Structure formats: C-alpha cells, structure tokens
Chains A and B, each alone.
Chain A
Amino acid sequence: MVKAKLKVFSLLARYWAYLFLILEFIFFASMARGFFSLRVIQNILFFGTPIFLLGTAETFVIITGGIDLSVGFVMGFATVLAAKLVAAFIGLGMGPAAGLALGVGITLIVGLIPGFINGTLVARLDVPPFIATFAMFGISHGVSELLLGGVWAKNLPHLANAIGNGFFLYVVPGKALSLFQRPIVQRGQAVLEIIPNVVVITFFFILIVAFLLKRMKFGHHTYAIGGNIDAAVKAGINVKKHLVRVYMLSSFLATLAGAIYVLKYVTGKGDAGAAFLLDSIVAVVIGGASLYGGKGTVGRTILGCCILATLETGLRVLGVSTFDKFIAVGVILIIAVLIDQFSPELVHKED
C-alpha cells in the first residue's frame, strides 16, 4: 500500500510537467471556445519560437552548471543588427532576397561574438557565469539602443514579412497543395495553413542541437563538465575550449531567435527578447534540469517551453494582461523547483 503510494508519487514527480500541460490545455479550452484547434495550436508554436530557442540555448549552458543571462538582450541585439543590415543592403541597391540573406547571414555570424566573450570570461578567466553573462546582458542592450538611436529599425522588405508570417504548407481541401506560396483561390474558398515557416526554421535548428547533445561527443562532454568539471579535465577533455563553444552555441540560438523576430515583426527592437529570459530559464527548470549542472535534455526543455508558450497564448486569448503572465510564470518556477527539491531520489535515478 505504502509502496503503491510511493510509486504514484514517483511517477507524478517525474511526469508532472506532462500532466500540467494537459491540465493547462483543458483549462484554457474550457474557458475559451475554440482554443483546442489547429489555428490556436499553431499560434502557440508561432509566438513560442523565442521561448523554444532561448530555452534550448539555456539548456546547454545550464547542463554545464552555468547560466546565460544574456540570451534575451543578445536576441534583441540580433533583431537590431539584422534589421539595420538588411535595410542598409537594400538601400545600397540589393534585391530584397539577397539583402535579407546577407543581412541575416552576417547577423548569425556576429551573434557568435557575445557567446565567445561570455565563454572566454567564464572558462579562461574564471568569472562566474552569472556575472559574465549579466555584464553581457547590459552591454548587448546598450549597443542595440546605440545602433537604433531612439527609433525602431524600418525600411525592411515585404519579403521578410512574407517569410516570417507565411506557412510551410497550404492546403485547399480537395483541390491543391502548395509549399510556401499561398494559392490563389476564389473568394470564400477555405485555405488550410499548416505550420508557420518560422516554426519549421526553429525546430530544424533545435533538432540539430538536440542531436548534438544526445548522440554526439559534444553532448557527452557537456554532461561530464556539469557533473564533475574536475573529472572532465582529468579525463583529458579540453574543458575551457568546450565551455567557450557552449556559450557560443547559446548566443547563436539567441541570435537566431532575433533573426526570426525580424522576419515576424519586420522591425528590430533592443528589448525584443527581454521578456523571454525568465521564460527560458523556467522552461529548463520545468524540464527537470538541475541548476547545479549535469542534468537536462532538450526534449524536456521543449516540454517546459510548451507549458509557457501555451500559458502565453492562453492568457492572451482570455484577454489577461502580460503582468499576470509574469506572476504565473514565477509561480510555476517555484513549483518546479520545489518538486525537484523534494523528490531528488525519485526523479534523479535515471541516466
């Protein structure tokens, strides 16, 4: 009897996040008619892209036992840089496609720099991750605002909007399928839109880095560093180099989130990602990662991201203000940490 109870508790401790997501969905579906629909679910994914990307970035850093507080403002910096570059290239007479590709491409490369600085400070100069990335939080914010000079970035091509708000697949029921291009139909004819482009891009990159973490040597060493950095050094792993790479991966994903923001909203804003920093860390913690390092997976983080993204869209559908969302996220964080604290022996046994 006691044993059965313990087992239930153990299962609950391990799978509470799934249960939470389901209950959350049921709650919103009962409050708002039509919540459980293709359109709303796609909206959740669409508005959740920065949470997914920043959460994944944070997963890597947190597994090494660090934290990256700069992801939000690095994302903001990327939106500004990409928007400015694309506008400049088009101003120079480039076509929209070339200007967009070049501007975003350069942004993605420049986006490795904040991570390189973070990683070098943490790994080679022994600055605590909290301090190093907090400094970068301020620096990247400041640089973005300087670049903007008080006005939002503008003069972006219509193509950005077409990609950012387009869909991967369009279906005219019983008639036609179309990739990327919205088919021209008669008035009143329904067109099913399936999977926003930005969701496809987001999950393409997330799958790659998830593979990196789960199946490749890079991931193995990431876990080893988080588990026992001293042992990793003694096993011959180049820990310093590895940590720099982890922070660079983190800022790359944040930059990608910024580039996607530009496609979605066709502008750049210094604080575009500021609100997602808390989300990204909460998502990782909901996913069962330990802030002491050594534990966590991309898959579980994505689950945490889904909870937050659903909350975000759900509250918006209900017309609740953003501030209530912050409170809700804070409460969820506390719940997640408490569950982790009080059931370590139940949750932590698996590999």
Chain B
Amino acid sequence: MGYLLEVRNITKRFGGLVAVNDVSVGLNAGEVIGIVGDNGAGKSTLIKVISGVHRPEAGTIHFMGEEFKIESPMDALKLGIETIYQDLALAENMNVYSNIFLGREKLKKWLGMIKVLDHEYMHNESRKVLNSLEIEIPSLRNIIRVLSGGQRQAVAISRSIYWDARVLIMDEPTAGLAVAEQSKVLKLVNRLKEQGIGIIIITHQLHDVFSVSDRLIVMRRGQKVGERITKKTNTDEIVRLIIGAETVET
C-alpha cells in the first residue's frame, strides 16, 4: 500500500547550517506518526517544508503517489495538508472566525456584483466547528488577543480541521495547555485518525506521543536516526535515540 504522504531525501539548509539532512518519512491514511527529538533536531523545519513555509534544497514530496512541488503554504493547503503551528499562527488583532477563515475567506456578492466578506456565514460555520470540539468561546467576534491559551489553541485546531484535511500536522499541540485540555486534544487526534486522516505530531511530551501514535520517527541534529513501531518500543529506547547515547541502525 502506498503512502498518503511521503517525503524523500529532504535537505534544508539555512546558510551553512544543515537543519534537515536527507530525511525521508512516509505517512499512511488513518495513521498517527510522532516525530520526536531534542531542540534543534530539525523537527519543525521538516514540517515547515511539508507545509510550504520553507522550500527544501533537495528532496521530493509525494502526495497519494504523485510528486508535488509545494512552493507556498497555499500549495500545501490546496492538497489538504493542514498545519497547526507551535506559535499557532493567529492574527491576534482579528476575531475568532476571521482567523479560522484567514486566507480562505468566504465571499458573497454585494449588490450582485462586488465580492465582499460573508461575515455571517464565517461566523456560523466557525461556531459549528468549535461546538464539535466542545470548546467554549463566548463570542466569536472577540479578537484573539483577549482569549486564553486554551481558547487560542482551539481556534488554531478548528482552522485546520474545518477544511477537510487529509493530512494534519501538529507542532507541539499540547504545549501550554491545562491537563484537561491536553486530553481533549489527544481524544481529538484519535477521532480524526478514525476518519482516515493522516496525522503527524511533533512533541517534546513523550508520554502524549506514546499514547496516540502508531509509529515514531526520531530526529537528531537534522537527521533521522530511528524509526520504531510505537507498540514495539519503549521510552528508554526512544530517549537513548534522542540524546544519541547509542548508535542504532535506522
């Protein structure tokens, strides 16, 4: 069976620094893979290559068996690759529903000729998707700046699941969340997985990633140093791979 999303031999440099060095990763539909590694291991850079923020120096990206050039974030979004970034990437000066629809605004005709923003539609659709996440935000007309960390996270997640994603990339999805909110996010991951979405999770929280992932990819200093079936490994082995305490064949 072919991968839903596959990156082959990706290399990304920033000047003299090789942030990602010849990394290949495959993701199946309905599968959750965790990418783990220390700070600076190249995890975030790798997913930013997939989501179109960075362009790689070498390597190819294949989606449903076909090679695609992802040159901008919009290219990735059009393929159905949605990303929740670690910094959430929200415009804090704008309201909730505007953020959920940012870059993909719903328009309507005004006086039958001019395309204007359809605020009502965007508001109602945003309300629906937030309700499905069971997250309460009193008014979707509030700007992001006045929301709590958990609420902001909810907005970022809503934005990515609203658009029928086929691949969902989550960079530190539980960072900065209260315990109850963390478990909500993990439950959501399981639900999306059942819907056949391929999910990539990047995290420092080994506990989380062990509980939801099927496979683990370990990165160190820009390289992929190991790949394990989650059920057939344990925390000790993964930690050893992360810190490079022993050399293991990949």
Complex-state Cα separation, A21 to B116, whole angstroms: 32
Please pick, from A216, A217, A226, A238, the residue contacting B93 in the complex, using a CB distance under 8 A: A226
Chain B residues with Cβ under 8 A from A236's Cβ?
Answer: 72-74, 77, 103-104
Chain A residues with Cβ under 8 A from B58's Cβ?
Answer: none
Residues on B lying within 8 angstroms of A by beta carbon are 51, 53, 72-74, 77, 83, 85, 87-95, 98-99, 102-105, 107, 110, 114-117, 141-143, 145-146
Chain B residues with Cβ under 8 A from A230's Cβ?
Answer: 87, 89
Q: Do B89 and A235 touch (CB < 8 A)?
A: yes
Chain A residues with Cβ under 8 A from B77's Cβ?
Answer: 236
Q: Do B116 and A215 touch (CB < 8 A)?
A: yes
Q: How far is the CB of B187 from chain A (nearest CB, A)?
A: 25
Q: Do B91 and A216 touch (CB < 8 A)?
A: no
Q: Do A220 and B53 touch (CB < 8 A)?
A: no
Please pick, from A220, A227, A233, A348, the residue contacting B105 in the complex, using a CB distance under 8 A: A220
In the assembled complex, A295 has its CB within 8 A of some CB on chain B: yes
Interface size (A, Cβ < 8 Å)? 25
In the assembled complex, A231 has its CB within 8 A of some CB on chain B: yes
Q: How far is the CB of B142 from chain A (nearest CB, A)?
A: 8
Please pick, from B89, B93, B104, B107, the residue contacting A234 in the complex, using a CB distance under 8 A: B89
Q: Do A231 and B89 touch (CB < 8 A)?
A: yes
Q: In this complex, what residue of B is CB-closest to A237?
A: B103
Complex-state Cα separation, A162 to B58, whole angstroms: 66
Complex-state Cα separation, A215 to B102, whole angstroms: 14
Complex-state Cα separation, A351 to B99, whole angstroms: 12
Q: Do A223 and B91 touch (CB < 8 A)?
A: yes
Q: Do B117 and A215 touch (CB < 8 A)?
A: yes
Q: How far is the CB of A152 from chain B (nearest CB, A)?
A: 41
Chain B residues with Cβ under 8 A from A5's Cβ?
Answer: none
Please pick, from B92, B98, B116, the residue contacting A228 in the complex, using a CB distance under 8 A: B92
Chain B residues with Cβ under 8 A from A231's Cβ?
Answer: 88-91, 99, 102
Q: Do B115 and A234 touch (CB < 8 A)?
A: no
Q: How far is the CB of B71 from chain A (nearest CB, A)?
A: 11
Q: Can you list 19 A-B contacts (CB < 8 A)?
A: A215-B110, A217-B115, A220-B105, A224-B103, A227-B92, A228-B92, A230-B87, A230-B89, A231-B88, A234-B73, A234-B83, A235-B73, A235-B103, A236-B74, A237-B102, A237-B103, A294-B91, A295-B93, A351-B95
A220 and B98 in contact, given A231-B89, A237-B103 (Cβ under 8 angstroms): yes
Q: In this complex, what residue of A is CB-closest to B107?
A: A217
Q: In this complex, what residue of B is CB-closest to A226?
A: B93
Q: In this complex, what residue of A is CB-closest to B87?
A: A230
Q: How far is the CB of A179 from chain B (nearest CB, A)?
A: 25
Which 9 pairs show the lowest CB-CB distances between chains A and B? A235-B103, A236-B74, A227-B93, A227-B91, A294-B93, A236-B103, A231-B89, A235-B102, A215-B116
In the assembled complex, A232 has its CB within 8 A of some CB on chain B: yes
Chain A residues with Cβ under 8 A from B105's Cβ?
Answer: 217, 220
Chain B residues with Cβ under 8 A from A227's Cβ?
Answer: 91-94
In the assembled complex, A349 has its CB within 8 A of some CB on chain B: yes
Complex-state Cα separation, A217 to B119, whole angstroms: 11
Q: How far is the CB of B242 from chain A (nearest CB, A)?
A: 27
Chain A residues with Cβ under 8 A from B89's Cβ?
Answer: 228, 230-231, 234-235
Complex-state Cα separation, A227 to B74, whole angstroms: 19
Q: In this complex, what residue of B is CB-closest to A217?
A: B105
Q: How far is the CB of A125 from chain B (nearest CB, A)?
A: 18
Chain B residues with Cβ under 8 A from A228's Cβ?
Answer: 89-93
Complex-state Cα separation, A224 to B87, whole angstroms: 15
Chain B residues with Cβ under 8 A from A220's Cβ?
Answer: 94, 98, 102, 105, 117
Chain A residues with Cβ under 8 A from B83's Cβ?
Answer: 234
Please pick, from B91, B107, B116, B142, the residue contacting A232 in the complex, using a CB distance under 8 A: B91
Chain B residues with Cβ under 8 A from A348's Cβ?
Answer: 145
Contact with B along A245-261 (1 / 0, CB 8 A): 00000000000000000
Chain A residues with Cβ under 8 A from B73's Cβ?
Answer: 233-236
